[in-house]
Chains A and B, each alone.
Chain A
Amino acid sequence: MAAELITAVIVDDHAAIAAGVRYWCEQADPPIGLIDAGDRLAEVWTGPGAEADVVIFDLELVPRKPDFGELRRLVDSGRRVVVYSQHADNATAIKCIDLGALAYLTKREGPEHLVPAIRAAAEGRAYTAPSLSGALLADDTPDRPRLSPRETEVLRAWFASSSKELVAAKLHITVKTVDTHVARVRVKYANVGRAARTKSELVTRAIDDGVITLAELNEASL
């Protein structure tokens, strides 16, 4: 299948980050087309940036001022966003997911997570990197969805090992099952909190694919 080339636009004020991401995208197989918007948010909304499948968004264009507002505007206008942040704290990660970002990665996470995250986001699917997995694991906010013991175990193993093969081998399950457990967690999170198109798409698709049932979802968000 001659799939159309995925395109992404990166908003990041650090030239080295944009250059690194461009290199990873070029080396990816199949390669990903990257548009560098620098720190100019306008280029995400107009010109070639507006056509890109995925927005790679640096949450802190202004240091210590995470721009959740811009993230919400992007998500509300139907953009698929991968947040790429130097922040590793749980609250920021969970807030981005709640706003409707499809992936949250810290800048310590390299191409082995960023490239699959861009591909997943281009298809409207979520990607959960180990750092986000750790954040979900440590989430103790009162309105968090209820996770099953197995889901927690998979999240913990994925966070610790950062390798789905190791998780699968350790828990005696297949890599696909690992993915399913992680996907279920994300669907449970997509089903609570603020409404967003990307989130409802995740839920609909998961129910259609049989990843989770409506009853299980309702039970998780009680």
Chain B
Amino acid sequence: MSDDDETRAQLQRGLRIATLLMAVLTVDVLGLINLLRHLDSHDVPAAQVGAFVALTAVLATEAVLVVRRRPWGLLRRPAIAVVLAASALSYLTLPDGRTSTTVDWLFGAAGWVGVAVLLDRPFRTSMAFLVTHELLALANLLLFHEVSRGTLARFATGSVTVFGLPLCVAVVAAVLGRIAAEASRATRELERVSTAEAVAVAAHRRRTQRFTELAGTTVPLLAGLADGSLAPSDPAVQRSCAIEAARMRRLFAETDTVENPLLHELRHCVDVADRKGLEVELDARGQWPVPPVAVRRDLTDAALTALATAGSWARVTVVGSTDLVSVSVVADCDELTVPTPATPDVRVETFGSDGTVWMEAQWQPS
């Protein structure tokens, strides 16, 4: 988890605990005091106690969830239903003309319970709950109680705190969620930019590396051709060009992501020879571990040199097993000088008879 996510989680948890405490305070302290003080003025005290028990049960569940750091999940809808049902029960059994007074203990408490349950939901959900609760209370007042200027004024002033305070908490929760979402979006963007930069740096390093690898052999050849010291008509120069062309192709192929890099790079070498007009066949048998780049270069360097020297045809074969990889080129070459392998595990042998040369490069994984 990133720092931002952690900060966000801590903030939300703090708000959740504060809201729970507010709800407990209004229901189980203020609400209980008012309920007990006016218990005998209620027509059906059992209904009020039942509503009180229901709200307390919801808050107790929320307390358990807070401790276990769990969201409400599937229990959320039933919990809200319990809160609304308790409100309805309490309002319907209120003695006549006592709405929005201290006898109406639940009026100020239910909103907090609902907001505590809905804190991590979108703002509109909390809003919808508060409005529903408010309408429930209003409907009760209009339908079952004597409506007078006094009761309406009491309802209106009560509503300021009953509706307004939980609403403030819901607004804070929504703002906090939005800020957190924006922060994590900004973090993601920052990560994307730094990744792109790292990729660009790596690509540049790879290009520089490739250039230095070519500088030793390709650049002098190109320079010689440019200043006229090497004649393009010279067969030796032509052969060098063919070798360098194949090396460049192999270099480009080295970074490709393929299942069998050795075969992939050999195919590129064969392709260069094929374009030169050589009749080439490539056949590979067996399965082998992927050789490191340096080993692959030794194996393919021998092959591409033989291919560049070949007159008209060549047969390229790869035979591999877990303990030996062998690359062979049989071709009609007059003479063949293969480069000495750079890695100790690669052995190159050439062998010729009657204008046919057989070059074999073997690698034994150590």
A134 and B319 within 8 A (CB): yes
Chain B residues positioned under 8 Å from A134 (CB to CB): 283, 285, 317, 319
Which residues 128-154 of A have a CB within 8 angstroms of B? 130-131, 134-135, 137-138, 140
B285 and A159 within 8 A (CB): yes
Given contacts A134-B317, A138-B319, A170-B351, are A163 and B356 in contact (CB under 8 A)?
yes
Given contacts A166-B353, A166-B356, are A137 and B330 in contact (CB under 8 A)?
no
A88 and B330 within 8 A (CB): no
Give Cα A138–Cα B326 distance, bound, in whole angstroms.
Answer: 13
Give Cα A163–Cα B356 distance, bound, in whole angstroms.
Answer: 10
Chain A residues positioned under 8 Å from B286 (CB to CB): 137-138
Asked whether any CB of chain B lies closer than 8 Å to the CB of A162, the reply is yes
Chain A residues positioned under 8 Å from B112 (CB to CB): none
Picked from B283, B319, B330, the residue with its CB within 8 Å of the CB of A166 is: B330
Which residues 146-188 of A have a CB within 8 angstroms of B? 156, 159-163, 165-166, 169-170
Give Cα A171–Cα B8 distance, bound, in whole angstroms.
Answer: 74
Give the bracket for the number of chain B residues in contact with chain A: 10 to 19
Asked whether any CB of chain A lies closer than 8 Å to the CB of B281, the reply is yes
Chain B residues positioned under 8 Å from A170 (CB to CB): 351, 358
Asked whether any CB of chain B lies closer than 8 Å to the CB of A92, the reply is no
Nearest-CB distance from B129 to chain A (Å)? 65
Give the bracket for the number of chain A residues in contact with chain B: 20 to 34
Give Cα A134–Cα B281 distance, bound, in whole angstroms.
Answer: 14
Q: In chain A, what residue has the closest Cβ to B330?
A: A161
Chain B residues positioned under 8 Å from A90 (CB to CB): 285
Give Cα A179–Cα B353 distance, bound, in whole angstroms.
Answer: 19
Chain B residues positioned under 8 Å from A159 (CB to CB): 283, 285, 317, 319
Nearest-CB distance from B292 to chain A (Å)? 23
Picked from A88, A138, A156, A166, the residue with its CB within 8 Å of the CB of B358 is: A166
Q: In chain A, what residue has the closest Cβ to B316?
A: A160
Give Cα A137–Cα B326 distance, bound, in whole angstroms.
Answer: 12
Asked whether any CB of chain B lies closer than 8 Å to the CB of A108, the reply is yes
Which residues 317-366 of B have a CB within 8 angstroms of A? 317, 319, 326, 328, 330, 351, 353, 356, 358, 360
Chain B residues positioned under 8 Å from A108 (CB to CB): 281
Chain A residues positioned under 8 Å from B315 (CB to CB): 160-162
A160 and B358 within 8 A (CB): yes
Chain A residues positioned under 8 Å from B287 (CB to CB): 138, 140
B351 and A135 within 8 A (CB): no
Nearest-CB distance from B88 to chain A (Å)? 73
Q: In chain B, what residue has the closest Cβ to A134?
A: B285
Which residues 241-299 of B have a CB within 8 angstroms of A? 281, 283, 285-287
Chain B residues positioned under 8 Å from A163 (CB to CB): 330, 356
Give Cα A131–Cα B317 distance, bound, in whole angstroms.
Answer: 10
Chain A residues positioned under 8 Å from B330 (CB to CB): 160-163, 166
A135 and B285 within 8 A (CB): yes
Chain B residues positioned under 8 Å from A140 (CB to CB): 287
Chain B residues positioned under 8 Å from A162 (CB to CB): 315, 330
Nearest-CB distance from A26 to chain B (Å)? 24
Chain A residues positioned under 8 Å from B353 (CB to CB): 165-166, 169
Give Cα A166–Cα B111 distance, bound, in whole angstroms.
Answer: 95
Give Cα A117–Cα B351 distance, bound, in whole angstroms.
Answer: 28
Give Cα A166–Cα B326 distance, bound, in whole angstroms.
Answer: 16
Chain A residues positioned under 8 Å from B328 (CB to CB): 160-161
Give Cα A183–Cα B287 distance, bound, in whole angstroms.
Answer: 25
Nearest-CB distance from A207 to chain B (Å)? 29
Chain B 18-53, CB within 8 Å of chain A: the 1/0 string?
000000000000000000000000000000000000
Give Cα A76–Cα B78 distance, bound, in whole angstroms.
Answer: 77
A-side residues, CB < 8 A to B, are 88, 90, 108, 130-131, 134-135, 137-138, 140, 156, 159-163, 165-166, 169-170
Closest 9 A/B residue pairs (Cβ): A160-B328, A134-B285, A138-B285, A138-B286, A160-B317, A161-B330, A156-B319, A170-B351, A169-B353
| Cross-chain pairs A/B with CB under 8 angstroms, 22 sampled | A88-B283, A108-B281, A130-B283, A134-B319, A135-B285, A137-B286, A137-B319, A138-B287, A156-B326, A159-B283, A159-B285, A159-B319, A160-B317, A160-B358, A161-B315, A161-B328, A161-B330, A161-B358, A162-B315, A166-B330, A166-B356, A166-B358
Beyond A160-B360, A165-B353, list 13 extra A-B contacts (CB 8 Å).
Answer: A130-B283, A134-B319, A135-B285, A137-B285, A137-B286, A138-B285, A138-B319, A159-B285, A160-B328, A160-B330, A162-B330, A169-B353, A170-B358
